[in-house]
Structure 1
Amino acid sequence: MTGALAGEWTKLSTTRAPWWTAALAVLGLGGIGLGRALSTSDTLPPAALLDGASLGLLVVMVLATLAATSDHTTGTHRLALMADANRVRLFTAKAVVVSVVCALVAALGAGVLTLASFTLTHLSTDWTAADLRAVWGQPATWALGGLLAVSVGTLVRRSAFAAPLVVAWPIAVEPLASVVPKIGEVVGDWLPFTNALAVTNPATASATGGGIGHGPWTALAVFAAYAVAAALVAALVEARRDA
């Protein structure tokens, strides 16, 4: 397993695209929030700096998706199988590396926001439990988002289909599903990215701008359940596939 983890890290860290994508994600999370703080003289709580959190999550999910699909488009998946024929182990290694990278990127962005909250005088820095969860809940959410995205990429295998699916689901599919009469009332509070948003911003997490019917920790558990379920399906499918 150690060799598989090292191999996945090498593939991810030796190309420029992941580094640029990670920088864009940090800019989305930390930069947009910092820009908002600098552009207003109003007193803001730390949670108000998270305007770019959703954008950053989408960026790292695209990174995670491409980390999975690029193996098949470049042929490196076949080379990896020559070194280790255990497909489940290879998928697990990729999922672990990508999820950890996503969490670290989120932690860096959260650190920028935390620093801003202490250096900008018009920010409220009481740091209630909700404030801490809003900022430092990002690494957990992004790690789960990375796990979900790498699972989708593994299942679909084609960047042209997987990346648009990962992007379209939270910004188009879920908002539309939430407002469908009768159906939206049943499923709206249990959609994956609605719950991901509720971890850090429970008051406005739903597609209609209101809260959902359960708390942030339940929301994190729901999002985690989607991510783990997708990973299990991807592992089972990968184990039965040809190279």
Structure 2
Amino acid sequence: MGPIAAERIKLTSTRAPWWSAAAALLTTAGTGLLFAATVAATEPVTVGATQAARVVGMTVLMVVAVLAVTTEYATGTIGTTFLAVPDRGAALRAKAVVVAALVGLVGLAGALGSWAASALLLPGPDLALDGLDEWRQVAGVGLVDAGAAVVAVAVGVLVRRTAGAVALVLVWPLAAESLVGLVPAVGPAVGPFLPFQAADRFLAGAPAGGGLLGSPWLAGAWFALFAAALFAVAVGVARRRDL
């Protein structure tokens, strides 16, 4: 059995990931519809507005990604994993691929559900996916969530403790980067390069004249590069540890 097949079985053989995925899906779609309906009361609803709640689902899915790693450290089964696959990089890459694939699909389903519910239930606004920008704002949620899952797996490997890793992945995208962006001298210069701020710019569309990350695609590429770099650091650290 290959590492990817083994990781797929481990991830899908317990109920917790499925319940968490369902919670993320329903929360994203339901809260997105609620927000879009609120916006519709005062201004025209856009495709991007239907995805305003996507960060809620993303953080739930990042917790799932963290638990896929930290539960193995907590129970000691990570040792069995590394015995079965002596190349720890290959074992962790397989875990990241499986987790990112599941998270990305759930994120995409939530984004499509939020968009479809808004398009069907809100009278008036034209929410057709007519161009690349509209598709990026919806389908891009799945890509961002997959990248966030890789970040969460890396955090799980580096921290190894569930409480600390979960706290980090909750605080980081929800509060920490926003607070850094508010620092007067530092925020405007550093903010666009913070990974989850870059992900937001990828989905929302970076404003013209936004500097190096003025293009949403550059912002998305920067987020992907950060996720890959953090994961590479986590693999390097895992290779140097006893477990």
- Give yes or no for contact 1:117–1:123 (8 Å, CA) kept in 2: no
Q: CA deviation at 1:220?
A: 0.2
- Give yes or no for contact 1:21–1:63 (8 Å, CA) kept in 2: yes
Bigger drift between 73-82 and 155-164 goes to 73-82
Whole-angstrom distance in 1 between the partners of 2:175 and 2:217: 25
Q: CA deviation at 1:74?
A: 1.3
Residue 26 of structure 1 is matched in structure 2 by: 25
Whole-angstrom distance in 2 between the partners of 1:64 and 1:212: 32
From 192, 197, 208, the counterpart of 2:195: 192
After TM superposition, the score normalised by the length of structure 1 is 0.89
Q: CA deviation at 1:203?
A: 6.1
Please tell me whether residue 95 in structure 1 is matched to residue 104 in structure 2.
Answer: no
Instruction: Please give the per-residue CA displacement for 1:83-127, whole angstroms capped at 9, x wherever unaligned.
Output: 222211110110100110111101211231343355334331342
Q: Cα distance 1:31–1:220, how it changes in 2: closer, same or farther (>3 A)?
A: same
Which amino acid in the other structure matches residue 125 of structure 2?
L
Which amino acid in the other structure matches residue 196 of structure 1?
A
Instruction: Please give the per-residue CA displacement for 1:205-230, whole angstroms capped at 9, x wherever unaligned.
Output: xxxxxx95412111101111110001
From 125, 131, 136, the counterpart of 1:123: 125
After TM superposition, the score normalised by the length of structure 2 is 0.89
Q: CA deviation at 1:57?
A: 1.1
Residue 107 of structure 2 is matched in structure 1 by: 106
Whole-angstrom distance in 2 between the partners of 1:218 and 1:52: 23
Q: Cα distance 1:36–1:183, how it changes in 2: closer, same or farther (>3 A)?
A: closer
Which amino acid in the other structure matches residue 158 of structure 1?
R
- Give yes or no for contact 2:111–2:138 (8 Å, CA) kept in 1: yes
Whole-angstrom distance in 1 between the partners of 2:154 and 2:126: 39
Whole-angstrom distance in 2 between the partners of 1:181 and 1:111: 37
Q: Which ranges of 4 or more aligned residues in structure 1 deviate by more than 6 Å?
A: none
Bigger drift between 59-68 and 122-131 goes to 122-131
Which amino acid in the other structure matches residue 166 of structure 1?
V
- 1:149-188 to structure 2, matched below 5 A, reads 149-188=152-191
Residue 2 of structure 2 is matched in structure 1 by: 3
- Give yes or no for contact 1:113–1:135 (8 Å, CA) kept in 2: no
- Give yes or no for contact 2:66–2:155 (8 Å, CA) kept in 1: yes
Whole-angstrom distance in 2 between the partners of 1:37 and 1:188: 26
Q: CA deviation at 1:181?
A: 2.6
- Give yes or no for contact 2:21–2:61 (8 Å, CA) kept in 1: yes
Please tell me whether residue 49 in structure 1 is matched to residue 50 in structure 2.
Answer: yes
Residue 63 of structure 2 is matched in structure 1 by: 62
Which amino acid in the other structure matches residue 49 of structure 1?
T
- Give yes or no for contact 2:101–2:146 (8 Å, CA) kept in 1: yes
Q: Cα distance 1:116–1:123, how it changes in 2: closer, same or farther (>3 A)?
A: farther
Q: CA deviation at 1:169?
A: 1.2
- Give yes or no for contact 2:27–2:56 (8 Å, CA) kept in 1: yes
Q: RMSD between aligned alpha carbons?
A: 2.0
